[in-house]
Amino acid sequence: MSASTSPRGIVLGIETSCDETGVGVVALAADGSTTLLADEIASSVDEHARFGGVVPEVAARAHLQAMVPAVQRALATAGVKASDVDAVAVTAGPGLAGALLVGVAAAKAYATAWGVPLYGVNHLASHVAVDTLQHGPLPPCLALLVSGGHSSLLEVPDLAGPIAPLGATIDDAAGEAFDKVARLLGLPFPGGPHIDRVARDGDPAAVAFPRGLTGPRDARFDFSFSGLKTAVARHVEALEAAGNGVPVADVAASFQEAVADVLTAKTIRAATERGLDTVVLGGGVAANSRLRALAEQRCEASGLRLRVPRPGLCTDNGAMVAALGAHLLAAGTPASPLELSADSGLPVTEVFLTHPH
Ligand code: KG4
Ligand code: ZN
């Protein structure tokens, strides 16, 4: 092992903001580079499927059951002992309060038992940080985060913060729109991957669905998807009332095109206006094949560098929390206070907790 790659720290990351119990282990080298050693996930998504959305109480209970085995599996996969861990990072918010509490309580217990620093970190900042595990250090960038719970455009000068929110959805999150439209089309929950799949056989120009908040007077960096969702519902109802079958592939492709079009157009505009030449995509919807292709095409046309983590790192996971923890450790950031508590509404401007909340 060369001096530059000798270990400087092992960081364990815990994520429980929604329905994924994620535990990641990242090794930080002396030169600041990071290596992902383990990324264990236990999902309660099947338990929510029949409700068509995540049920907070069910998610919290599932985290409680999955937590300790997930930590044990992550340490075993990483080939490290508990005594090798140098820092623990945990998602402190934003997210479901009861779900967050389970992760925060576990992380406090581990950090206290192992006598190592604890970092309570921001879920959105972690979605951006995860890209460093795949593509190396991140220059100042524009991040588009799109998932079941959030749709945000962020200006990220540095991962240690502060991060500036440029815009967000004013109603449904992008993933929520995918899930609701999938339901209208009779596809299972979570709907995003199903829409992505069936849209491959559809015509994206079949229906001209509305592009929310793209008028000249609209907020330039905010998103709205509820009008689009309603337009799809009306379209499906009209077809059914006329006794016609619903061309599911065409409707899915046209809906997906409307979402990808608005997301990429606003992202490119924000990056260009803020003078940022790197764009990062994150969150579950960043796994969408059309969004990825259109982002690639439009970034290239605008001279922007696009970084998209592999799909497994885009959805919620523990590796992203460990990645941000490793960055904070490398930057010599003081630990968060052990009295910290989960904050379901933690603003993205707060990358890590410096006071109890
Ligand atoms: O980041 P994530 O795992 O959890 C949240 O924080 O919400 O994102 C889950 C969301 C769901 O709404 C799901 O339908 C959507 O991401 N999603 C997709 C795709 N894969 C997952 N949406 C569109 N296309 C996909 N391929
Ligand atoms: Zn997320």
Q: What is the pLDDT of residues 95-104, one digit of tens each?
A: 999 999 999 9
- Starting from the CA of residue 312, give the closest ligand: 1
Burial classification of residue 215, based on how many CB atoms lie within 10 Å of its CB (0-12 exposed, 13-18 middle, 19 or more buried) = exposed
pLDDT for 135 beyond 80: yes
Residue 3 has pLDDT above 70, yes or no: no
CA torsion through residues 173, 106, 47, 321, sign: positive
pLDDT given at position 53: 80
**What is the pLDDT at residue 356?**
84
Handedness of CA 96, 101, 102, 108 (dihedral sign): positive
5 pLDDT tier (thresholds 50, 70, 90): very low
pLDDT value, residue 7: 58
User: Is the CB of 179 inside a 6 Å radius of any atom of ligand 1?
Assistant: yes
- 254, pLDDT greater than 60: yes
Of the pLDDT bands very low, low, confident and very high (cuts 50, 70, 90), residue 161 is confident
Indicate which atom in ligand 1 lies nearest the CA of residue 17: 6
Quote the pTM value.
Answer: 0.93
User: Which of 58 and 3 is assigned the larger pLDDT?
Assistant: 58
Indicate whether residue 52 lines ligand 1 (CB < 6 A): no
Q: Which ligand is nearest to the CA of 313?
A: 1
How many angstroms separate the Cα of 12 from the Cα of each of 42, 52, 59, 110, 191?
16, 32, 21, 10, 31
58 SS3 class: helix
Q: Residue 46 CB: number of other CB atoms within 10 A?
A: 10
Residue 6's pLDDT band, with cuts at 50, 70 and 90, is very low
Tell me, in angstroms, the distance from the centre of ligand 2 to residue 147's CA: 6
- What is the rounded average pLDDT of the residues 43-70? 90
DSSP 4: G
Q: Is the pLDDT of residue 308 over 80?
A: yes
Among 41, 126, 178, which is best to mutate for testing ligand 1, by the most ligand atoms less than 8 A from CB?
178
Identify the residue whose C-alpha is closest to ligand 1 atom 16.
284
Indicate whether residue 199 lines ligand 1 (CB < 6 A). Answer: no
Shortest-distance atom of ligand 1 to CA 256: 23
d(CA 109, ligand 1 centre) in Å? 30
> What is the secondary structure of 288-343 as a DSSP string?
-HHHHHHHHHHHHHTT-EEE---HHHHSS-SHHHHHHHHHHHHTTPPPPPTT----
Has residue 169 got a pLDDT over 90?
yes
What per-residue confidence (pLDDT) applies to 45?
A: 87
Cα 205 → chain centroid: 29
Distance 349 CA to ligand 1 centre (A): 23
- Average pLDDT, stretch 118-132? 97
pLDDT confidence bin for 206, thresholds 50/70/90 = very high
- Average the pLDDT over 145-157 and give the result: 94
